[in-house]
Amino acid sequence: MRLLVVNPNTTASMTEKIGAAARAVAGASTEVLAVSPADGPVSIEGYVDEAFSVPGLLAEIRKHPADAYIVACFDDTGLDAARCVTDAPVIGIGEAAFHLASLLAGKFSVVTTLSRSIPAIEHNLLKYGLDRRCARVRAAEVPVLDLEDPESDAAGRIAAEIERAKAEDRCEAIVLGCAGMADLAAALSARHGLPVVDGVAAAVKLAESLVALGLKTSKLGGYAAPRAKRYDGRFRDDAP
Amino acid sequence: MRLLVVNPNTTASMTEKIGAAARAVAGASTEVLAVSPADGPVSIEGYVDEAFSVPGLLAEIRKHPADAYIVACFDDTGLDAARCVTDAPVIGIGEAAFHLASLLAGKFSVVTTLSRSIPAIEHNLLKYGLDRRCARVRAAEVPVLDLEDPESDAAGRIAAEIERAKAEDRCEAIVLGCAGMADLAAALSARHGLPVVDGVAAAVKLAESLVALGLKTSKLGGYAAPRAKRYDGRFRDDAP
Amino acid sequence: MRLLVVNPNTTASMTEKIGAAARAVAGASTEVLAVSPADGPVSIEGYVDEAFSVPGLLAEIRKHPADAYIVACFDDTGLDAARCVTDAPVIGIGEAAFHLASLLAGKFSVVTTLSRSIPAIEHNLLKYGLDRRCARVRAAEVPVLDLEDPESDAAGRIAAEIERAKAEDRCEAIVLGCAGMADLAAALSARHGLPVVDGVAAAVKLAESLVALGLKTSKLGGYAAPRAKRYDGRFRDDAP
Amino acid sequence: MRLLVVNPNTTASMTEKIGAAARAVAGASTEVLAVSPADGPVSIEGYVDEAFSVPGLLAEIRKHPADAYIVACFDDTGLDAARCVTDAPVIGIGEAAFHLASLLAGKFSVVTTLSRSIPAIEHNLLKYGLDRRCARVRAAEVPVLDLEDPESDAAGRIAAEIERAKAEDRCEAIVLGCAGMADLAAALSARHGLPVVDGVAAAVKLAESLVALGLKTSKLGGYAAPRAKRYDGRFRDDAP
Amino acid sequence: MRLLVVNPNTTASMTEKIGAAARAVAGASTEVLAVSPADGPVSIEGYVDEAFSVPGLLAEIRKHPADAYIVACFDDTGLDAARCVTDAPVIGIGEAAFHLASLLAGKFSVVTTLSRSIPAIEHNLLKYGLDRRCARVRAAEVPVLDLEDPESDAAGRIAAEIERAKAEDRCEAIVLGCAGMADLAAALSARHGLPVVDGVAAAVKLAESLVALGLKTSKLGGYAAPRAKRYDGRFRDDAP
Amino acid sequence: MRLLVVNPNTTASMTEKIGAAARAVAGASTEVLAVSPADGPVSIEGYVDEAFSVPGLLAEIRKHPADAYIVACFDDTGLDAARCVTDAPVIGIGEAAFHLASLLAGKFSVVTTLSRSIPAIEHNLLKYGLDRRCARVRAAEVPVLDLEDPESDAAGRIAAEIERAKAEDRCEAIVLGCAGMADLAAALSARHGLPVVDGVAAAVKLAESLVALGLKTSKLGGYAAPRAKRYDGRFRDDAP
């Protein structure tokens, strides 16, 4: 099967890291293609960055026929829209991590990058129904691109926040709240003694699962294909 | 005060109708400017249309300094992002209608255009906390642009759906679920004998209220101003 | 328009302060009449005081024809009953503050007077559906009438509680939980750097909004006019 | 033990019926005193009637020392205030019925008198936490005093509504939603083949239970004794 | 009436203590029989112990005809199944305590034995609908059988945890989270100044209440009698 | 990897069908072993059957070392206990189907066998947090073993219930509510035009996913290994 992983920001090093993380867990017969859009922000930190990443994300999905798609931003940016433009399954890395963590633990805490991202993640949990399973969404106060910088103290901050979560939240598992943390999960799990779930890896396995089962996104409700209509201005060519 | 009402689709006749509806209820000292973006879909019917309307919506807000802003799409498209790009209050017409209906009735039902929009509206109600106040979200199965067509049976369908809501939902008020229905509220309220709330009018009064009270969007959480960063491709000039 | 603001306790200085706060934000064409009942407690601090304030509150509403009414006790004492005795809109200052704060911030905290009032406020939030938007209801442990006493340390205690809310609750806005705090909102907002919402001012603008839109309380459900019947004893003349 | 049952309306025949229903299930050592206030409405059908019944209800509780008190109106009118004016347990017949029904069935439906009472009952269920256990609150559209009139078709309407509840709600038990239905429960249970819970009887047994266990209302939160203060006008002598 | 109290673990000293606690509060005409199964764990601390206690619990219920049954493990182990095998009421001591505490206080906290039992108790609260009434479930980290050992510091740990609950949870009552704590409730209530509810005593009074009212478990839904069928292996004789 | 699929009832033909369904979707490197316990009911239809299936289920898990385990009863019978007795992931087919359906559709309906199983499934959805995603749990009124009987009209009844779900529930996907329906999913999906999710297949892919990612059940909370203790009677040898 062919799996398209879209990093909705434009930072190539993060796309590469995400692609590597995806390939590291993908099945032997899964071809992973990791891409990022030509248009959009270099990192997604809040609602405005989200908004400007979605047109490019949708363009990538339309451009690359695949058996399944992954939206590799922890806010699950544009996930609903992405599900409308293809019949293939589309998985957000945030939801992927929440669902798998729910199979391993009664309650999990999330450790994300910056506080400003907490409300968006809390909204997603509420929408998915899994807010009751989440003990707390926490921020390590690490800007996304610091995760790309080996000199930064990002890893230390994340580890410290996991310790606080263990001490204060009665959580039984940790969900890493950024695609850029994909390479840290195994070491953190070993170090902190509880399951640490990375969304990129989780999404790869869920995407493979749905494809193996022949399951596709329902087209009966909000995920119906968009109605044909005119789009104006610089989105003229993006019209459905 | 200066109030910018953004119709996030590009259909000028709807922008005019929305502007007229806003002016009809605006205070004497409120200057209403109704605009629509250069870029985006001619109507918003589902998640994909939403996604392509937000960059243009944000551009309009940035372009027009104002004391308050209204996002005049019932899905409250891009509302969170809009709150980040200005210190002034920003009101979505969906939330405006839900909040005012909650002051008039124990439970309200929503009558929107197409079924495909129901999930997005239900998500908003959940996020706002007012899902418990909403008896049911219904669709009259009227495409948005039929509301611009005097030949269509749109008004009849909406009236029929309101009757079904009264009979089946035990609702005590109706919220009209599309900016294009703004001109119908008074007649429907008189005809059906219950409060019928139009979001455009509701949003104008709420925006004026917040401005009069000197209240602005909090910048402590998810609505903090976006971090300065590079945007690539056709969004290069949209960077914060 | 004519707006009746009922302070449901019998303390004249508080009624004056509430009236002044209302007039300070009312529109030019709004005539504000602030009254308090002849019968009832000098302050409302708990369920018993609430119970004895409602007959007088309803009497005031019946006595003073108006275009809209405000119940100026943060517990929204008697609000449901008040909505039954008039066709005009009736706004509680608690609900008014909660709804406006929800337009400005993802989550707000409430700072009220005494701990004993917390459960009643929490019940209201639950009933209105906005409990999910409230981070925490806090008490500054200030008796209501201390707010009328310039010698008390009421203002200092409220400010200290707001600081605790900012530090512990991840709230993005503050709702002041007593009509007697109406004069403090602007200074507290400036001092603490987040929106501070006073219910009296909020209710005035919401009442004006509903009147401007021609919206009235629904009579289809629990707010139907009371059935005519005999009342006995000292309530003989209060019968509907 | 001494058990005071307060019918908060002033209709003596209903007070007698309630007293008889209470005595029919009371333990041998329980002395049941059934009273109604001098002041207030002849029946409680909606929020206004509720408001005018509470001062009289509280007066009866203060006047009659007892080991436990029952508020014998299904809306649990004035229950919170009643808990403040005594250390003894106070039980509402609505909550009593909800709690016992929850021990017998996964989900119950409520059959009350008039539709206008549904929202108040739904609010109580939400406040008590048992809304999730209630399949639906229904009204048989029987005015309260029709239950006192042997010529009325009240019993037939109630039976018909129970049948509808069984057919449509997937409920496993029925709660009768008015003190005036206390005499119907056993026959309805036999006829319809499911548990039918009457609140008066339920409250008697719960009150006896709490007294037998030496349990009293907590005074740590909202049920603390009212603060001493002046009450004005016709409530001068009701001051705590 | 005849009341069977089943301690689902096999520790005779605890069965005796539970029986004594039940008899201490039972009515004069209630015959209390306290039993424990021949098969199962010596204490119930977690899901596995629960699983192995249920067959023995059901066998005891089938063996001893009674007017009502009590499941005397705070996790309400096997309660749903127990309700299927008899027409008589069956009460779990956990639910009994939660329901009675809800009549005394706005919010209660639970103090149980070991942390590993917290999730099961939280699930029960959610299922019963009373999670909203519970401030927090806490563990004193006391193994169940330490409660049988007069040398242990169990009582001290429980008292300390109650103090923490009072200080941190804003709870107004305490529920003791283990049948083995039945003898401590009165002293703890006196010492800590708030209602302390023991589930064994609560269940006895609720069972007597239901029997006195002639109320039985509904057989319309999940509590229907089990379908006749073959059971294999060592459960051959347990088949319905 | 080695995957143990436990059918917790003792009907060999169903175990074979489940095993075949599991193998049909398992990866090339997954060895599927399908077993059923020696002890227990021939089918699981309600709480009593559930209770008598768990000891045998746990015995099978302990007997067969594996990389992951599946509990192949849609009620997720004994799932919590199963997670305590192994470090390997354990997946219930009910939860597996709910989680995957949540990735494909906004709302799903469940079609199970008998009405008596509905409450248990609803409790699970509540516990998992996914009740908000489930439009309705329905029963086709097909006894479990009729699914093993080619002469029965089971398939027709299930298809009819799916049609009712589509017409009445606004669901976008269907979850089949019994392991014995595992062979029907693909045909039903094609026939009814929406995703139809079978729990056995879903659980196989989720189990493989967790094993591939090296994720194991958390031992920090309720899933900690059982404490060593004596078990009595016929469970003497089952002691941890």
Task: Tell me what pLDDT residue E182 has.
Answer: 87
pLDDT of residue B144: 86
Q: Fold for domain C95-199?
A: Rossmann fold (3.40.50)
pLDDT at D182 over 90: no
Query: Which of E 66-105 lie inside 8 A of F, CB atoms?
Result: 78, 80-81, 83-85
d(CA F100, CA A91): 11
Looking at chain E, the whole-number percentage of residues with pLDDT higher than 90 is: 94
Of the two residues F180 and A55, the one the predictor is more confident about is A55
Tell me: the pLDDT tens digits for F133-171? 999 999 999 998 898 888 999 999 999 999 999 999 999
| Radius of gyration from C-alpha coordinates of chain A | 17
Q: What is the spatial distance between Cα C227 and Cα C217, in angstroms, rounded to a whole number?
A: 17
Subunits adjacent to chain A (3 or more Cβ pairs under 8 Å) = B, C, E, F
Mean pLDDT of chain B, nearest integer: 96
Structure confidence at residue D148 (pLDDT): 85
**CA D84 to each of CA C119, D223, E103: distance values in angstroms, whole numbers, following the listed order:** 13, 5, 13
Inform me whether the pLDDT recorded for C148 exceeds 90: no
Number of residues that make up chain B: 240
ipTM: 0.97
DSSP C71: E
Mean pLDDT of C5-16: 96
Q: Model confidence over C59-76: pLDDT tens digits?
A: 999 999 999 999 999 999
The alpha-carbon gap from A229 to the nearest alpha carbon of chain C, in Å, equals 33
Chain C, 161 to 200: residues with Cβ < 8 Å from chain A are 170
The C-alpha of D178 sits at a distance from chain F's nearest C-alpha, in angstroms, of 28
Stretch among C182-186, C189-193, D3-7 having the lowest mean pLDDT: C182-186
**Per-residue pLDDT tens for A81-90?**
999 999 999 9
Query: What integer is the mean pLDDT of C156-166?
Result: 96
What counts of helices (H) and strands (E) characterise chain D? 8, 10
Share of chain C above pLDDT 90, in %: 94
Token pair listed for F118: 């509905």
β-bridge mates for residue B41, sequence order: A231
Q: 3-class DSSP state for residue C112?
A: strand
The single-letter code of the amino acid at C79 is: L
- Name the residue of chain E whose CA is nearest to F222's CA: E116
Q: Where in chain D is the domain with CATH 3.40.50.12500?
A: 2-93+201-238, 95-199
Say what the pLDDT of residue C89 is.
98
Q: Give the pLDDT of residue B182.
A: 87
Per-residue pLDDT of D12-50, as tens digits, reads 999 999 999 999 999 999 999 999 999 999 999 999 999
Residue whose C-alpha is closest to residue D80's, from B42, C120, C115, A222:
C120
pLDDT attached to residue A5: 98
Determine, for residues D45 and C226 on separate chains, whether the beta-carbon distance falls below 8 Å: yes
Residues carrying CATH 3.40.50.12500, chain E: 2-93+201-238, 95-198
C2-93+202-238 belongs to CATH 3.40.50.720: no
Q: What pLDDT is attached to residue C150?
A: 85
Distance from CA of F222 to the nearest CA of D (A): 25
Write down the pLDDT at residue B150. 85
* C221 in contact with chain B, both atoms CB, cutoff 8 A: yes
Q: What is the distance between the alpha carbons of residues C56 and B24, in angstroms, rounded to a whole number? A: 38
Query: C-chain residues within 8 Å CB-CB of A134?
Result: none
Does the pLDDT of residue E148 top 90, yes or no?
Answer: no
The model's pLDDT over F80-91, given as tens digits with 9 standing for 90+, comes to 999 999 999 999
Contact between F222 and E119 using a beta-carbon 8 Å cutoff:
yes
The two three-digit tokens of residue C200, written as one number: 């009296």
The mean pLDDT value of chain F amounts to 96
All residues of chain F having their beta carbon less than 8 Å from the beta carbon of residue E40 are 231-233, 235
What average pLDDT does range C73-85 have in this prediction?
Answer: 98
- Which pLDDT belongs to residue D213? 97
- Amino acid at residue number F112: T
- What pLDDT is attached to residue F150? 85
What angle (nearest 5°) sits at the alpha carbon of residue E33, between those of residues E28 and E35?
155
**Secondary structure class of D68 (helix, strand, coil):** strand
Distance CA F150, CA C54 (A): 69
pLDDT band at D4 (very low <50, low <70, confident <90, very high): very high
The CATH class for the domain spanning E95-198 reads alpha beta
Name the burial class of residue A20, with classes exposed (0-12), middle (13-18) and buried (19+) by CB atoms within 10 angstroms of its CB: middle
For A8-16, what is the mean pLDDT?
96
According to CATH, where is 3.40.50.12500 located in chain C?
A: 2-93+202-238, 95-199
Question: Burial letters for A202-228: b for 16+ Cβ neighbours within 10 Å, e otherwise?
Answer: bbbbbbbbbbbbebbbbbbbbbbebbe
Residue A9 pLDDT exceeds 90:
yes
Q: Are A99 and B66 in contact (CB under 8 A)?
A: no
Interface test with B, best of A71, A123, A235, A237 (most B CBs within 10 A): A235
Average of per-residue pLDDT values in chain D: 96
The pair phi, psi for residue F110, each rounded to 5°, is: -105, 135
Check A232 against B51: CB less than 8 A apart.
no
User: What's residue F20's pLDDT?
Assistant: 96
CATH architecture, domain defined by F2-92+201-238: 3-Layer(aba) Sandwich (3.40)
- Is it true that domain E2-93+201-238 has CATH number 3.40.50.620? no
B196-215 pLDDT, tens digit each: 999 999 999 999 999 999 99
Can you tell me the mean pLDDT for E191-220?
Answer: 97
Nearest by Cα to E183 from E157, E148, E212, E218:
E148
Cβ-based contacts under 8 A for chains B and C? 143
Domain spanning A2-92+202-238, CATH architecture: 3-Layer(aba) Sandwich (3.40)
Tell me B238's DSSP state. Answer: G
Confidence category of residue C106, pLDDT binned at 50, 70, 90: very high
**F172, F105 contact by CB (below 8 A):** yes
More confident residue, E148 or C104: C104
Token pair in block for residue C40: 């009832």
**Residue range(s) of every CATH 3.40.50.12500 domain in chain F:** 2-92+201-238, 95-199
Q: Tell me the mean pLDDT in the region D198-208.
A: 98
**CB of B159 less than 8 A from some CB of A:** no
Give the Cα separation of D61 and C222 in Å (integer): 28
For F7-28, what is each residue's pLDDT tens digit? 999 999 999 999 999 999 999 9
| E217–chain A nearest CA distance, Å | 30
Cβ–Cβ below 8 Å for A46 and B117: no
CATH 3.40.50.12500 residue spans of chain A: 2-92+202-238, 95-199
- Tell me, yes or no, whether chains F and C touch by having 3 or more C-beta pairs under 8 A: no
Write down the pLDDT at residue C43.
96
Q: Is the pLDDT of residue B120 over 90?
A: yes
Mean pLDDT of C137-151: 91
d(CA D162, CA D147): 16
* Cβ-Cβ contacts under 8 Å for A187 (sequence gap 6 or more): none
